[in-house]
C-alpha cells in the first residue's frame, strides 16, 4: 500500500467510501452518484458516519471523469484495464474504513448498502448482496445468467470451499478496509468477484449477506460483461484456488486405483506366474501410470497449498501440522534414493532374466512395470522435495510452521565482520 495514500486517508478521516468502477458510463453515472449520496445521508442518519463517493475510472473517453467531478465525486484514475483492476485501484485510493462497491450502470440500488454497512459495524468483515433474496426485475438479468451461470458457479464455489453464499456474483457488496488489505486481491477481470469471496472464506473472514435488488441498467450500449468468456474465467479461477479438488483428490483416486490393480495383479502372478488372469499387461501398465500420476499430483497439490499459505490467503490445513515432522526435504530425498535404487535393482534383475531366456519376450510385464514405477517415484520425490523446499521459503522443513523455523544468521556486510568471523 502507498504510504502517502495512508497519510491522506488518515488526514481525511472518512468512514464510508462508495467505489464505482467506470468505463464510459456518462449515460448512467449521474443517477448512480445521486443514489450514493442518498445512501450516505441514510448512513449518516442511522450510524453517524461520514462518507465519500469514488469513481474508479478505467480510461473513459466519453467525459465520465468531468461529469463525476462536477457532481461532487472524487475520480481515481486506474490505468490497468479490467473490472477487478478498477475496483482494486478504487479501493486503494479510497479514504474510508468501510468500502462499498457497486456498478456504475444504474442496475443496483445503492440505498440498500446502508444495511450492508450496518452488518460491518456489527462485526462482519465482508457483506454480500443477494439478488435472489432482494429481487430481480424483468429484463435485468439474462436467463442464462439467472438460471444457469450464476446458480452453477455459486453452487460450485460453495462445494469447493465450504461457503454458504447465496449469490456469489452480486456486484453490490461492502467490506472493511482491513479485510480488503488482508485479502490481497489480484484479479483484473470479472473473476475478481469470485476471488473476493473465496479468499474471504479461506482466511476465515466473517461474511454476512443482505438482500439486494437488481434493475435493468441505464446504458444505451451492450454491457462490458461477456457471459461465456467471463463465466469461463470464473470457473477456472475456482479451480485455481482449490488444490484439493484439482490435485489432491484426483491423486488419491488415481494412486489408490493403481495400487489396487497392481496388488491384484501381483497376487495373480504369484498363483499363476505365466498369466495375470483378468489383469493383463495393459492393465498393469495402466496401473503403473496411475500410481505415478497420483504421486505427481500429490506433490503438485502440496506445492499449491504451500504457495497459497505463503501468499497469505489460506490458513495451513490440518494435515500440514500432522505431517510436518515426517515430510521434509531430507525424508523425500531418502525415499527417492531408496525407490530409485529398488527400481534399478528390479530392472537389472529383469534384464538378467531376459538374458537367461535367450532374450525371449517376457510373459509377465509386472516386474518391469514395477521397476520403472519405482524409478519414476524416486525421481519425482527428489525433484518434488526441492520444489517444495523452494516454495516453502527455501527451508528443508517446508511444512513446519514459520514460527518454529530457525532464524537465518544476520548477513555480515562489513570488513570487520568478515575479519572477526575468520
Q: Are 135 and 245 in contact (CB under 8 A)?
A: no
Q: Do residue 197 and residue 184 come from a single domain?
A: yes
Region of 202 on the Ramachandran plot (φ > 0 left; ψ -120 to 50 alpha; else beta) = alpha
Task: Please give the biggest Cα pair distance in the chain.
Answer: 95
Mean pLDDT of all residues in 287-295: 95
> Is the residue at 420 inside a domain?
no
Let me know if residue 51 belongs to a domain.
yes
Picking from 203, 220, 240, the residue at the C-terminal end of a domain is 240
User: By CB neighbour count within 10 A (0-12 exposed, 13-18 middle, 19+ buried), where does 186 fall?
Assistant: middle
Q: Is 203 exposed, middle or buried (0-12, 13-18, 19+ CB in 10 A)?
A: middle
Of 216, 240, 264, which closes a domain? 240
Domain total in the chain:
2
pLDDT at 323: 82
Instruction: Read off the pLDDT of residues 113-143 as tens digits, 9 standing for 90 and up.
Output: 999 999 999 999 999 999 999 999 998 887 7
DSSP state of 214: B
CATH for 103: 3.90.550.10
Report d(CA 25, CA 253) in Å as an integer.
Answer: 50
User: How far apart are alpha carbons 286 and 282 in whole angstroms?
Assistant: 6
Q: Nearest to residue 382, comparing CAs of 324, 339, 320? A: 339
Task: Give percent above pLDDT 90 in the chain.
Answer: 55
92 shares its domain with 192: yes
The answer on 185 and 273 residing in a single domain is no
Question: Domain range holding 364?
Answer: 243-404
Distance from C-alpha of 285 to C-alpha of 362, rounded to nearest angstrom: 14
168 and 257 belong to one structural domain? no
- Judged by average pLDDT, the poorest of 225-229, 233-237, 248-252, 287-291 is 225-229
> How does the average pLDDT of the chain come out, rounded?
85
DSSP 129-176: EEHHHH-B-TTSS-HHIIIIIHHHHHHHHHHHH----S-TT-S-EEEE
Confidence band, pLDDT 50/70/90 cuts, at residue 320: confident
Q: Which of 240, 266, 288 is the last residue of a domain?
A: 240
Are residues 277 and 207 both part of a single domain?
no
pTM score: 0.74
Helix-then-strand count for the chain, H and E: 18, 7
User: What is the average pLDDT across 14-28?
Assistant: 94
160 and 284 in a single domain? The answer is: no
413 found inside a domain = no
State the pLDDT at residue 217. 82
Task: Kindly state whether residue 421 falls inside one of the protein's structural domains.
Answer: no
Separation of CA 311 from chain center: 10
In whole angstroms, give the CA distance from residue 400 to residue 232. Answer: 36
Query: Does residue 422 fall inside a structural domain?
Result: no
- Which cell goes with 229? 468468456
**DSSP per-residue letters across 219-265:** -SS--S--HHHHHHHHHHHHHHT-HIIIIIHHHHHHHHHHHHHHHHH
32 domain residue, yes or no: yes
C-alpha span between 287 and 280 (Å, rounded): 11
Q: Tell me: do 109 and 129 sit in the same domain.
A: yes
Shared-domain flag, residues 113 and 155 = yes
Same domain as 280, residue 212: no
Going across the sheet that includes 173-176, the strands are 74-77, 51-57, 16-22, 98-101, 173-176, 126-130, 207-211
Highest mean pLDDT among 87-101, 175-189, 192-206: 87-101
Per-residue DSSP letters for 312-325? Answer: TSSPPPHHHHHHTT
Residue 176 lies in a domain: yes
Is 270 a domain residue?
Answer: yes
pLDDT at 270: 59
pLDDT of residue 273: 52
Per-residue pLDDT of 332-375, as tens digits, reads 999 999 999 999 999 999 998 888 887 887 777 888 999 999 99
Over residues 321-334, the pLDDT tens digits come to: 788 788 899 999 99
Contact predicate 54/65, CB 8 Å: no
Same domain, 232 and 97: yes
Do 193 and 247 lie in a common domain? no
Cell of 101: 462497491
Q: Are residues 232 and 249 in the same domain?
A: no
Do residues 337 and 421 touch, judged by C-beta distance below 8 A? no
Average pLDDT, integer, range 208-217: 93
Q: What is the pLDDT of residue 276?
A: 47
CA–CA separation, 99 vs 87, rounded Å? Answer: 10
Amino acid at each position: 500500500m502507498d504510504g502517502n495514500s495512508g497519510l491522506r486517508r488518515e488526514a481525511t478521516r472518512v468512514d464510508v467510501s462508495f467505489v464505482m468502477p467506470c468505463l464510459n458510463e456518462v449515460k448512467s453515472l449521474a443517477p448512480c452518484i445521486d443514489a450514493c449520496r442518498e445512501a450516505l445521508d441514510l448512513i449518516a442518519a442511522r450510524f453517524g458516519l461520514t462518507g465519500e463517493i469514488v469513481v474508479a475510472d478505467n480510461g473513459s473517453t466519453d467525459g465520465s471523469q468531468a461529469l463525476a467531478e462536477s457532481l461532487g465525486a472524487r475520480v481515481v484514475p486506474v490505468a490497468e484495464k479490467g473490472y477487478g483492476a478498477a475496483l482494486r485501484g478504487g479501493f486503494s485510493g479510497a479514504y474510508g474504513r468501510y468500502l462499498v462497491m457497486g456498478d456504475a450502470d444504474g442496475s443496483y440500488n445503492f440505498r440498500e448498502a446502508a444495511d450492508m454497512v450496518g452488518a460491518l459495524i456489527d462485526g462482519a468483515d465482508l457483506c454480500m448482496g443477494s439478488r435472489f433474496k432482494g429481487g430481480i426485475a424483468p429484463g435485468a438479468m439474462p436467463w442464462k445468467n439467472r438460471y444457469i451461470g450464476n446458480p452453477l458457479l455459486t453452487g460450485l464455489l460453495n462445494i469447493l470451499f465450504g461457503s454458504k453464499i447465496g449469490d456469489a456474483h452480486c456486484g453490490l457488496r461492502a467490506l472493511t478496509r482491513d479485510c480488503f488489505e488482508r485479502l490481497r486481491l489480484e484479479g483484473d477481470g470479472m473473476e475478481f468477484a469470485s476471488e473476493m469471496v473465496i479468499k474471504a472464506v479461506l482466511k476465515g473472514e466473517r461474511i454476512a449477506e443482505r438482500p439486494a435488488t437488481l434493475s435493468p441498467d441505464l446504458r444505451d450500449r451492450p454491457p462490458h460483461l461477456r457471459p461465456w468468456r467471463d463465466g469461463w474465467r470464473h470457473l477456472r479461477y475456482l479451480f485455481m484456488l482449490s488444490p484439493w479438488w484439482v490435485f489432491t483428490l484426483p491423486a488419491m483416486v488415481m494412486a489408490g486405483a493403481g495400487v489396487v490393480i497392481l496388488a491384484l495383479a501381483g497376487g495373480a502372478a504369484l498363483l499363476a506366474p505365466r498369466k495375470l488372469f483378468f489383469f493383463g499387461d495393459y492393465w498393469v501398465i495402466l496401473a503403473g501410470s496411475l500410481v505415478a500420476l497420483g504421486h505427481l499430483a500429490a506433490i503438485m497439490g502440496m506445492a499449491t497449498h504451500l504457495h497459497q499459505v505463503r501468499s497469505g490467503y489460506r490458513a495451513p490445513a490440518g494435515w500440514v501440522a500432522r505431517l510436518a515432522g515426517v515430510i521434509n526435504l531430507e525424508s523425500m530425498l531418502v525415499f527417492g534414493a531408496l525407490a530409485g535404487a529398488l527400481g534399478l535393482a528390479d530392472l537389472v534383475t529383469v534384464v538378467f532374466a531376459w538374458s537367461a531366456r535367450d532374450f525371449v519376450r517376457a510373459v509377465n510385464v509386472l516386474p518391469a512395470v514395477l521397476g520403472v514405477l519405482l524409478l519414476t517415484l524416486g525421481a519425482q520425490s527428489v525433484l518434488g522435495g526441492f520444489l517444495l523446499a523452494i516454495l516453502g521459503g527455501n527451508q528443508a522443513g517446508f511444512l513446519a510452521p514459520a514460527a518454529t523455523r530457525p532464524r537465518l544468521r544476520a548477513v555480515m556486510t562489513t570488513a570487520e565482520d568478515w575479519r572477526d568471523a575468520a
